[in-house]
């Protein structure tokens, strides 16, 4: 990353550089002038708020947006009544979209009272032409709109909003570009997401992600390793490697690398304590990966393995490219090799043509696999996807009852799975002070289970041994145990 010395050498009298990321650093410096102007006029720094919808990938993108805003000189806040507000949107299900429109209405209210306020929209939803049409027509108070492929250009676009009036729109259809080394402002000092790849090539028939995120592109292993090394030097102990299908990592690189090989390299990084990743597509999960996980001291005992449906017929319609039996067999292999692993999943209910029998098969899978947790979604029709034009769309009212039944089984299983660890001593990474009871801090076990223990701020970011005293459904109440305690003590319960 650039330091202040390099910023000093950028000459704004000259034309902006063509190459990235230099070009963006030029515009960061240019934006700084506008921020200074603002400060002189208003006697305070401008405030900026980044709001994230959607998945971890979007959360990571938001950290990049925040990084730029901070470099430019904004004071970052969580208050949407700010001088600059950006919504990083998601469109995976329709309710994500509706939330954005609702919140935009509120922003308009703030903007009426603060006419200098700038509103920006970016992210997956912006890659849909219908959305842009609607925004142009009914949300003309928005200042800046860009998409997923040109997010690296944020500094340049931000600069343009200072220099123009009205609505600025810049959407790219696709890209093969990956821009490295832009500023990032992390939400947590001790853990971080890392993109290892972008886009998706799977085209599950219900899913809009491949259309809004483009084709699969992997980052070079050396860039990933370098980024993690820097993060570790900056205090990060846990990383989450991010991709829509991490199991196909490396396939488009000139020098092909498998995901398992990448993990082996990440494992070697000194000072890094924990490695997580998501998401794993069952069709591409290799034996090599299972082996690497088994042998690893750092890879967490958690695998998110989206099932989507337990019916082979529906899986085929979904273009998931595995059967119920293949999935079960895979889970069996994983559990044999790594018995203490927690498996979580995503399930869709109400896919076109789904019958009560299909749903029974899904419920049965939940019982058989014994998920530690499952995210259940009601199917949402996404324009342009193959499933949207399938016959037999199931009305949502018809889905509700089955959905609730599935949810009950998911919760039962999750409770049982979580309770397995009652009385054990395990390592937790303390993530935050508990908001509702400030005498407690909240930690996460390797298997992703949450534990609350007595403690204060000073523990945040540290790995501690905790005793899992009381299981409360999906989380534990526990206490920290001194690592020096005699073994007999550790075995109580």
* Residues near ligand F3S, by CB under 6 A: 54-55, 57-58, 90-92, 124, 209, 212-213
Residues at the contact surface with ligand SAH, assessed by CB under 6 A? 92-93, 206-207, 209, 244-245, 279, 281, 306, 308, 346, 348, 377, 379-380, 382
Token pair for residue 478?
A: 């526990």
Which CB, 96 or 236, lies closer to ligand F3S? Answer: 96
Number of alpha carbons in the 13 Å side-chain half-sphere of residue 372 = 23
Q: Is 91 in the site for ligand SF4 (CB under 6 A)?
A: no
Considering CB distances under 5 to 8 angstroms, the limit depending on partner class, which of ligand F3S, ligand SF4, ligand SAH, none binds residue 124?
A: ligand F3S
Contact between 86 and 161 under an 8 Å Cβ cutoff? The reply is: no
Specify the stretch interacting with ligand SF4 by CB under 6 A; choose among 195-203, 296-304, 406-414, 430-438: 195-203
Query: In angstroms, how far is CA 183 from the centroid of its own chain?
Result: 18
Query: Residues with Cβ < 8 Å from 162, sequence gap 6 or more?
Result: 31, 34
Q: Is 315 in the site for ligand SF4 (CB under 6 A)?
A: no
Token pair for residue 38?
A: 């603002």
Considering CB distances under 5 to 8 angstroms, the limit depending on partner class, which of ligand SF4, ligand F3S, ligand SAH, none binds residue 91?
A: ligand F3S
CB of 92 to ligand SF4, least distance (A): 8
Pick the binder of ligand SF4 from 202, 345, 380, 446 (CB under 6 A): 202
CB of 249 to ligand SF4, least distance (A): 13
Considering CB distances under 5 to 8 angstroms, the limit depending on partner class, which of ligand SF4, ligand F3S, ligand SAH, none binds residue 181?
A: none
**Among the residues of 143-300, which ranges form H helices?**
154-163, 209-213, 221-233, 259-267, 287-295
Considering CB distances under 5 to 8 angstroms, the limit depending on partner class, which of ligand SF4, ligand F3S, ligand SAH, none binds residue 57?
A: ligand F3S
CB of 359 to ligand SAH, least distance (A): 14
Q: How many residues bind ligand SF4 (CB under 6 A)?
A: 10
Considering CB distances under 5 to 8 angstroms, the limit depending on partner class, which of ligand F3S, ligand SF4, ligand SAH, none binds residue 210?
A: ligand SF4
Q: Which helix (H) or strand (E) holds 326?
A: helix 324-337
Token pair for residue 380?
A: 């949402």
Which CB, 60 or 281, lies closer to ligand SAH? Answer: 281
- Bond before 210 cis per omega within 30 degrees: no
Considering CB distances under 5 to 8 angstroms, the limit depending on partner class, which of ligand SF4, ligand F3S, ligand SAH, none binds residue 348?
A: ligand SAH
- Bond before 279 cis per omega within 30 degrees: yes
Contact between 147 and 172 under an 8 Å Cβ cutoff? The reply is: yes
Which CB, 245 or 317, lies closer to ligand SF4? Answer: 245
CB of 247 to ligand SF4, least distance (A): 10
Considering CB distances under 5 to 8 angstroms, the limit depending on partner class, which of ligand SAH, ligand F3S, ligand SF4, none binds residue 452?
A: none
Considering CB distances under 5 to 8 angstroms, the limit depending on partner class, which of ligand F3S, ligand SAH, ligand SF4, none binds residue 380?
A: ligand SAH
Task: Give me the 210-249 binding string for ligand SF4, x by CB under 6 A, dash otherwise.
Answer: x---------------------------------xx----
Query: Residues with Cβ < 8 Å from 453, sequence gap 6 or more?
Result: 428, 430, 440, 441, 443, 464, 466, 477, 478, 479, 480
Q: Which of 72, 75, 73, 76 is nearest to 62 (CA)?
A: 76
CB of 92 to ligand SAH, least distance (A): 5
| Complete DSSP assignment for 265-286 | HHHT-TT--EEEEE---GGG--
Which CB, 85 or 92, lies closer to ligand SAH? Answer: 92
Distance CA 415, CA 413 (A): 5
Considering CB distances under 5 to 8 angstroms, the limit depending on partner class, which of ligand SAH, ligand SF4, ligand F3S, none binds residue 203?
A: ligand SF4
Which CB, 195 or 442, lies closer to ligand SAH? Answer: 195
Q: What torsion do the CA atoms of 66, 72, 75, 76 make, to the nearest 10 degrees?
A: -10
Token pair for residue 422?
A: 């009652």
Distance CA 492, CA 108 (A): 58
> SS3 for 298-319, per residue?
CECCEEECCCECCCHHHHHHCC
Tell me which residue has tokens 């000189």: 73
Q: Is 200 in the site for ligand SF4 (CB under 6 A)?
A: yes
Interface contacts to ligand SF4, rule CB under 6 A: 200, 202-204, 207, 209-210, 244-245, 281
């Amino acid at each position: 990353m650039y330091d202040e010395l390099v910023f000093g050498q950028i000459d704004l009298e000259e034309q902006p550089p063509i190459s990235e990321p230099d070009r963006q650093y030029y515009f960061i410096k240019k934006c700084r002038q506008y921020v200074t102007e603002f400060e002189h006029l208003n006697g305070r720094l401008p405030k900026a708020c980044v709001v994230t919808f959607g998945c971890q990938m979007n959360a990571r993108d938001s950290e990049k947006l925040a990084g730029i805003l901070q470099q430019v000189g904004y004071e970052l806040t969580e208050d949407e009544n700010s001088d600059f507000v950006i919504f990083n949107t998601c469109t995976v299900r329709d309710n994500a979209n509706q939330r954005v429109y609702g919140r935009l209405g509120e922003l308009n209210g703030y903007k009426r009272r603060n006419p200098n306020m700038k509103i920006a929209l970016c992210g997956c939803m912006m890659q849909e032409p219908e959305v842009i049409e609607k925004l142009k027509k009914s949300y003309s108070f928005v200042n800046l709109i860009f998409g997923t492929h040109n997010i690296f250009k944020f500094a340049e676009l931000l600069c343009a909003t200072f220099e123009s009036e009205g609505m600025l729109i810049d959407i790219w259809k696709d890209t093969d570009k990956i821009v490295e080394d832009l500023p990032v402002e992390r939400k947590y000092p001790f853990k971080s997401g890392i993109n290892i790849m972008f886009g998706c090539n799977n085209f599950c028939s219900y899913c809009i992600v491949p259309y809004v995120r483009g084709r699969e592109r992997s980052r070079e292993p050396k860039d990933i390793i370098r980024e993690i090394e820097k993060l570790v030097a900056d205090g990060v102990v846990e990383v989450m490697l991010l991709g829509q299908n991490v199991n196909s990592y490396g396939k488009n690189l000139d020098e092909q690398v498998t995901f398992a090989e990448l993990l082996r390299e990440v494992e070697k990084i000194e000072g890094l304590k924990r490695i997580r990743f998501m998401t794993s597509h069952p069709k591409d999960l290799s034996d090599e990966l299972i082996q690497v996980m088994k042998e690893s001291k750092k890879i967490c005992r958690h695998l998110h393995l989206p099932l989507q449906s337990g019916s082979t017929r529906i899986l085929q319609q979904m273009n998931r490219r595995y059967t119920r039996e293949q999935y079960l067999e895979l889970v069996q292999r994983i559990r044999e090799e790594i018995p203490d692993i927690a498996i979580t999943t995503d399930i869709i209910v109400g896919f076109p043509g789904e019958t009560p029998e299909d749903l029974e098969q899904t419920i049965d899978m939940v019982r058989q696999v014994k998920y530690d947790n499952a995210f259940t979604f009601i199917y949402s029709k996404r324009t342009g996807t193959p499933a949207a034009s399938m016959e037999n769309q199931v009305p949502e009212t018809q889905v509700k009852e089955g959905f609730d039944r599935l949810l009950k089984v998911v919760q039962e299983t999750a409770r049982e799975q979580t309770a397995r660890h009652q009385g054990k001593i395990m390592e937790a990474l303390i993530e935050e002070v508990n908001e509702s009871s400030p005498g407690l801090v909240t930690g996460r076990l390797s298997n992703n289970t949450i534990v609350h223990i007595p403690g204060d701020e000073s523990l945040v970011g540290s790995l501690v041994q905790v005793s899992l005293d009381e299981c409360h459904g999906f989380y534990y109440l526990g206490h920290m145990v001194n690592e020096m305690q005699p073994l007999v003590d550790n075995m109580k319960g």
